[in-house]
Amino acid sequence: MAPSSTPSTPGGRALKTYGTAATAAAVLAVALTVALHPNADPPATDGKPAPPRPEVRVGTHSQEPHSPGRTAPVDPDAPVTVTLRGQGHLTDVTLKDDAGHRVAGHLDPSARVWRSTHVLRAATHYVAEVRTDPQPHNTPHRTEFTTSRARSGLLTVTLGPSGGDTRDTSGAAAAGDTRSTSEGARTYGVGQIVTAHLSHPVPPESRALLESHLKVTATPAAAPGAWHWLDPTTLHYRPRTYWPARADISVTADDLAGLRLTDHLRVAPVVPLRFSTGPRVEAVIDASAHRMSVLRDGTTLRVIPVTTGKEGYRTRAGIKVVLDKQAVLRMRSTTIGIPSDTDEAYDLPVRHAIRLTRSGEYLHAAPWAASSFGRRDVSHGCVGMSEKDAAWLFLILGEGDITRTVHTRGQEMTPFSNGVGDWNMPWRAWANGSALNGSSTVRSAEERLRPSAS
């Protein structure tokens, strides 16, 4: 990290200080002071002035330097102060943890007192190195200390997706699917959303700080992306457009551990996330034409005759991302409020079921409706097709792949309350939900749920 400024000492020499300045640092900052009395400095002799000796204090505690293992932990919420005793000036002050993260600080006009402007991390080992002018022995004064565990609560951040693709790759290859998985990662479709679930609510004034430490990278590079706050404990991340096909994506939060978000909340270490995308696979359902086109990387693989939701149970319009798959699923009308003694009742096993919403829209085999495929809509909201087409589609589509329903009289798929509908939100509105790019206003995600089975 490069020096953030090089103010001059009264003697005309430049002082190097590190870190970021201020506004956020001042809000979180500190009143911390561990004392250092370097034992390498010789005492004054023959009436000569004593050489300069910097004293490092954490909070109100003063300690002689000794082994860090025997040093009592200090309060991470206190400020660090370096004061020069004797003649001379401070020329360089660095305070950093074992990971190399530097603590920002400010030098007063006399160039004899340096104060930290940012909080320390809890349960962290620090090393302070101070150079002075004059500099005895041409070596920096050095001291070490460790901060205590946080007295405040710990915020845990859980990154997702957490499940991963478990498709039958041998069958998929036979069907023409050439997806592969990076070692140690899982493969998803290009519509997969990154999530961050927080163990405690984060107030609006602390969200930008947390969000700025959550880094998402993709190789090859994705379109610009942003986090979006759904509520005080949930964030979603997506690029402006779908992820690149066959990309490696990582989500890290290396600088978050021990960071203080509020007076009562610090961040626990965050487990990083890595996953891959396969080819761009998309199923476009044209409800008015009663057909579904399946594409891979822009090339149409198959056009399938289908039936969609009938009047009163219309299939939702818009983009829905595949949630999961089940080879066999039992569907009962009673789960969606249809009594078992009515003409609309059903209770039957369904094969090759690909789930699109939490409320129960699926793509699946519907051999009982064979006479309606490509002709009319007879389902309770799902997209039905022949057994043969459903078996083929089951191998082609996987978690995170895209489906898009057009020319339907059904409701619009909402972004958050019924599965992965995030791509239905316009990009400007999405970016405005970031604490860094916009207001991070929490929006209502209520909607009327569709049937949970067809």
* DSSP per residue, 124-142: -EEEEEEEEES-GGG--EE
Which CATH number does the domain housing residue 299 bear?
2.40.440.10
Q: What is the pLDDT of residue 119?
A: 74
| CA distance from start to end of the chain | 58
> CB 174: neighbour CB atoms within 10 A?
11
- Are both 419 and 286 inside the same structural domain? yes
Q: What is the pLDDT of residue 104?
A: 83
- Are both 286 and 401 inside the same structural domain? yes
In a structure prediction context, what are the per-residue pLDDT tens digits for the chain, which is 454 residues long? 444 444 444 444 444 443 333 332 322 233 334 444 343 444 444 555 666 677 878 765 554 444 444 467 888 878 899 998 888 889 889 998 887 778 888 899 999 999 987 778 878 899 999 988 887 666 788 889 888 876 668 899 999 996 544 443 333 333 434 333 333 469 999 999 999 999 999 999 999 999 999 999 999 999 999 999 999 999 999 999 999 999 999 999 978 888 889 888 989 889 999 999 999 999 999 999 999 999 999 999 999 999 999 999 999 999 999 999 999 998 888 877 788 888 888 889 999 999 999 988 999 999 999 999 999 999 999 999 999 999 999 999 999 999 999 999 999 999 998 999 999 999 999 999 999 986 554 443 333 233 334 4
CA 228 to chain centre: 10
- Are both 341 and 262 inside the same structural domain? no
Which CATH number does the domain housing residue 258 bear?
2.60.40.3710
- Are both 300 and 360 inside the same structural domain? yes
Which amino acid belongs to residue 422? D
| DSSP alpha helix (H) spans, 225-347 | none
The pair of structure tokens assigned to 221 is 């590079």
> Which of these three, 126, 146, 166, is where a domain ends?
146
Residues of the domain holding 97: 23-146
- Are both 286 and 273 inside the same structural domain? no
- The torsion angles phi and psi of 209, rounded to 5 degrees, stand at -60, -45
Q: What is the pLDDT of residue 303?
A: 99
> CB 45: neighbour CB atoms within 10 A?
7
Which amino acid belongs to residue 234? T
- Are both 134 and 202 inside the same structural domain? no
Which of 228, 290, 364, 380 is labelled catalytic? 364
> Which of these three, 238, 257, 277, is where a domain ends?
277
Question: Residue with structure tokens 């979006």?
Answer: 228
Q: What is the 8-class DSSP label of residue 416?
A: S
C-alpha distances out from residue 57 to 12, 61, 90, 253, Å: 27, 6, 15, 30
Report the SS3 class of residue 396.
Answer: helix
- Are both 137 and 198 inside the same structural domain? no
The pair of structure tokens assigned to 428 is 């400007």
Which of 118, 228, 352, 382 is labelled catalytic? 382
Specify if 128 maps to a domain.
yes
- Are both 47 and 122 inside the same structural domain? yes
Cis peptide before 68 (omega within 30 of 0): no
Q: What is the pLDDT of residue 105?
A: 87
Number of domains making up the chain: 3
- Are both 271 and 340 inside the same structural domain? no
Which CATH number does the domain housing residue 38 bear?
2.60.40.3780
- Are both 82 and 95 inside the same structural domain? yes
Specify if 439 maps to a domain.
no
CA neighbor of 253 nearest in space, from 239, 241, 240, 235: 235
Specify if 448 maps to a domain.
no
> Contact at 8 Å (CB) between 381 and 309?
yes
The pair of structure tokens assigned to 158 is 């859980």
Torsion angle of the four alpha carbons 361, 367, 372, 373, in this order, in degrees rounded to the nearest 10: 70
- Are both 209 and 246 inside the same structural domain? yes
Count Cα neighbours of 267 within 13 Å in the Cβ-side half-sphere: 26
364 is catalytic: yes
- Are both 285 and 272 inside the same structural domain? no
Specify if 3 maps to a domain.
no
List 187's β-bridge partners, or say none: 276
Specify if 430 maps to a domain.
no
Specify if 58 maps to a domain.
yes
Specify if 295 maps to a domain.
yes
pTM over 0.75: no
Q: What is the pLDDT of residue 50?
A: 62
d(CA 95, CA 342): 74
Specify if 436 maps to a domain.
no
> Which of these three, 235, 252, 277, is where a domain ends?
277
Q: What is the pLDDT of residue 62?
A: 52
C-alpha distances out from residue 243 to 181, 214, 248, 400, 426, Å: 15, 18, 10, 10, 16
d(CA 319, CA 422): 8
